Amino acid sequence: MSISAQKTGLSGLIERGGMLALFLVLMTFLLAPAVFVFKGSVENISISLVANEGGLTLKNYGKILSDGYFVYVFNSLYICILATVLSCTISLFAAYGLSRFRFPGRGFVFGAIMGGQFFPWIILVNPIFIFFARAGLINSHLGLILCYTAFITPFTVYLLVGYLTTIPKSLDEAAIVDGANRLQVIWMVILPIMWPGLVAAATFGFLQSWSEYLLALALITEDGLKTIPLGLYQYFGDVQVDWGAVMAGSVVATVPTLLLFLPLQKKLVAGLTQGATK
Q: What is the DSSP letter of 55?
A: E
- pTM greater than 0.85 (yes/no): no
Q: Do 136 and 216 share a structural domain? A: yes
Domain count, the chain: 2
**pLDDT at residue 170 greater than cutoff 80:** yes
Q: Do 199 and 65 share a structural domain? A: yes
pLDDT at 71: 92
Burial-class residue 1 by CB neighbours within 10 Å (0-12, 13-18, 19+).
Answer: exposed
Residue 14 belongs to some domain of the structure: yes
Residue 48 belongs to some domain of the structure: no
Q: Do 33 and 127 share a structural domain? A: no
Tens-digit pLDDT profile for residues 230-247: 999 888 877 778 888 888
Range of the domain at 23: 3-41
Q: Do 14 and 116 share a structural domain? A: no
Q: Do 76 and 19 share a structural domain? A: no
Residue 270 belongs to some domain of the structure: yes
Q: Half-sphere exposure (CA, 13 Å, Cβ side) for 28? A: 6
Distance in angstroms (rounded) separating the CA atoms of residues 196 and 272 = 8
Residue 17 belongs to some domain of the structure: yes
Residue 114 belongs to some domain of the structure: yes
Mean pLDDT of the region 14-28: 79
Query: Domain containing 79 — which CATH number?
Result: 1.10.3720.10
Mean pLDDT of the region 171-199: 83
pLDDT at 2: 54
Q: Which pairs count as long-range contacts for 248-251, CB under 8 Å and 24+ apart, including other chains?
A: 248/41, 248/60, 248/61, 248/63, 248/64, 249/64, 249/69, 250/37, 250/41, 251/37, 251/38, 251/41
Residue 53 belongs to some domain of the structure: no
Distance in angstroms (rounded) separating the CA atoms of residues 209 and 202 = 11
pLDDT at 277: 42
Q: Do 98 and 37 share a structural domain? A: no
Q: Do 164 and 82 share a structural domain? A: yes
Residue 127 belongs to some domain of the structure: yes
Q: Do 261 and 133 share a structural domain? A: yes
Q: Do 16 and 114 share a structural domain? A: no
Residue 55 belongs to some domain of the structure: no
Q: Contact 110/102 with Cβ under 8 angstroms?
A: no
Q: Do 94 and 24 share a structural domain? A: no
Tens-digit pLDDT profile for residues 44-71: 765 555 555 666 778 888 888 888 888 9
Q: Do 237 and 134 share a structural domain? A: yes
Tens-digit pLDDT profile for residues 146-160: 999 988 888 888 888
Burial-class residue 102 by CB neighbours within 10 Å (0-12, 13-18, 19+).
Answer: exposed
Q: Which three-class secondary structure state does DSSP give residue 11?
A: helix
Q: Contact 246/232 with Cβ under 8 angstroms?
A: yes
Q: Write the CA distances from 75 to 47, 51, 181, 228, 231, integer angstroms.
A: 29, 34, 38, 8, 11
User: Which residue type, as a one-letter code, is found at position 151?
Assistant: F
Q: Do 237 and 122 share a structural domain? A: yes
